[in-house]
Amino acid sequence: MSHSHNTAIAEGVLTPRTVSRKHKRRVVRSCALLLAPLSVGLAACSGGSDGSSLASAPYDATDAVAVNADADSKDVDPDKALEVTAQHGDTLTDIFASDASGHVVQGELSEDGKHWRSTGPLAADARYTLKVSTENDEGAPGRRTVHFRTKGVSKHLSVKLGPDNGTYGVGQPLTAKLGRAIKKPAQRELVERALKVKSTPHVDGSWHWVNSKELHYRPRSYWPAHASITLRSSLEGLKVRKGLYGGKTESVRMRTGDRIEAITDASSLVMRVKKNGKTIRSIPVTTGKSGYETRNGIKVILTKEPYVRMTSASIGAGDFYDLGVHWATRLTNSGEYVHGAPWSVASQGVSNTSHGCTGMSSSNAKWFFDHVRQGDIVQHVNTAGDRMAPFGNGFGDWNLGWKKWRAGSAVNTKPVGSGPADAARLRPSV
């Protein structure tokens, strides 16, 4: 088969997604003998004195194709659908539209092959290439290519991804904070699908809408130790709703360290620190006394602060204190810490005497401070306090069961919950 014939077939025959059934039958009939031996195929389909159109180069279909986006235009309205119409008896056989990043615009071709309309949204302030293939009444292939740019918009949906780049503990959730409230299910689904998470090794996870402006992402159980996780957004330029388009977002690259878990039993008053499943230190502690009980449940280390001043005035406690606290590892926004408490060494391992924090000797607090990082797990069991809230007071995400967590995803098309708010006062405690 001649080279010119191969070119005509490769460029002129259509993909099933864009060819009408009537036209598809016509194309198949015109080259039915291509499956025959080579000599027969040449007799049936190659160019010759009869001027067979399949062997000819595609003609310029500029006059045969109307597009509602002018060639080289820089102000195409992204809110309007892209439309292509065949003229002068031609038929549309294939449409391919994509932006400079390779995102393909989905669309539908009419049954008669005369009209195509985009069904997927155009991005704002984006460069597009539209490639149109046609066929005239004689079966000759035509081509038209149009380049254009959509206009920018004044309203963007900003997205702040977290945490910052770096190494974290295996309990660290990923976060996405939105600049505007997103409430409608379809808009939430669009935003959520644009937030891409990749981990090595691979683990399945899910987003959960904390509220209309914040999402958290976590696996079913903790991240693997020494994993690499990337979070990026493909929301830039995408239409979220009328007049609102996704803005540019910086990606996040996170690694996890060893699996560190500190499990504190308020009944035995011992904290067991485990590294990759093996206990590496047992520490006598004191936790919250009556009226100031430490919260039960799983907490994620938020920050490490070498020195914090804690006062009774900040929590309205009846017994006065004003203390400088060393080696303070924060667990909640409301002021629950693991820290050095040299004044309560006699009670550590014996009784609960603190105002909600987990106190230990200065040497143990320094050791703990040096061996944990942001994102590591601290779990309290057997306290008389309330359960750590999933949201609103730090990262209590792991206290929500997997079924309920996934129900907070818009992609799973289940009811979106906001999670209970923590009623604790925002204060440091000792």
Tens-digit pLDDT profile for residues 245-263: 999 999 999 999 999 999 9
- Higher-scoring residue by pLDDT: 54, 350: 350
Asked whether the predicted pLDDT for residue 388 surpasses 60, the reply is: yes
pLDDT of residue 93: 94
Q: What are the phi and psi torsion angles at 363 (to 5°)?
A: -65, -40
Asked if the model's pLDDT at residue 68 lies above 90, the reply is yes
157-256: in CATH 2.60.40.3710 = yes
Residue 317 has pLDDT above 80, yes or no: no
Lowest mean pLDDT among 188-197, 251-260, 281-290, 317-326: 317-326
Does position 51 have pLDDT exceeding 80, yes or no?
no
Q: pLDDT-based confidence at 125, cuts 50/70/90?
A: confident
Tokens of 225: 């130790």
Domain range summary for the chain, segments of one domain joined by + = 3-149, 157-256, 260-398
* pLDDT mean across residues, the chain: 85
What percentage of the chain reaches a pLDDT higher than 70?
80
Looking at residues 411-418, what average pLDDT do you find? 52
Res 9: pLDDT:
34
What pLDDT score was predicted for residue 24? 41
pLDDT at 367 exceeding the cut of 80: yes
pLDDT digits (tens, 9 = 90+) for 218-233: 999 999 999 999 999 9
The pLDDT of residue 342 is: 96
pLDDT of 37 strictly over 50: no
Question: Taking 80 as the threshold, does the pLDDT of residue 7 lie above it?
Answer: no
Domain 3-149 indexed as CATH 2.60.40.3780: yes
- Is the predicted pLDDT of residue 154 greater than 90, yes or no? no
pLDDT value of position 18: 40
Report the 10 Å Cβ neighbour count for 408.
23
pLDDT for residue 45 is more than 50 = no
- At residue 123, the pLDDT reads 87
Predicted pLDDT at 122: 87
Distance CA 21, CA 24 (A): 5
CA angle 192, 389, 188 (to 5 degrees): 15
Active site residues: 339, 357
**In the predicted structure, residue 148 carries a pLDDT above the cut 80:** yes
- Taking a C-beta distance cutoff of 8 angstroms, is the pair 219, 405 a contact? no
- Tell me the per-residue pLDDT of 168-186, one tens digit each, with 9 for 90 and over: 999 999 999 999 999 999 9
313, pLDDT greater than 80: no
What are phi and psi for residue 338, nearest 5 degrees? -105, 125
- Give mean pLDDT, residues 40-69: 65
157-256 and 3-149 share a CATH fold: yes
Judged by average pLDDT, the poorest of 152-166, 175-189, 309-323 is 309-323
How wide is the angle at C-alpha 361 spanned by C-alphas 278 and 294, nearest 5°? Answer: 75
Q: Is 150 exposed, middle or buried (0-12, 13-18, 19+ CB in 10 A)?
A: buried
- What are the angstrom distances between the C-alpha of 253 and each of 25, 26, 199, 374, 377? 51, 53, 10, 15, 20
CATH class of 260-398: mainly beta
> What pLDDT is stored for residue 237 in this prediction?
85
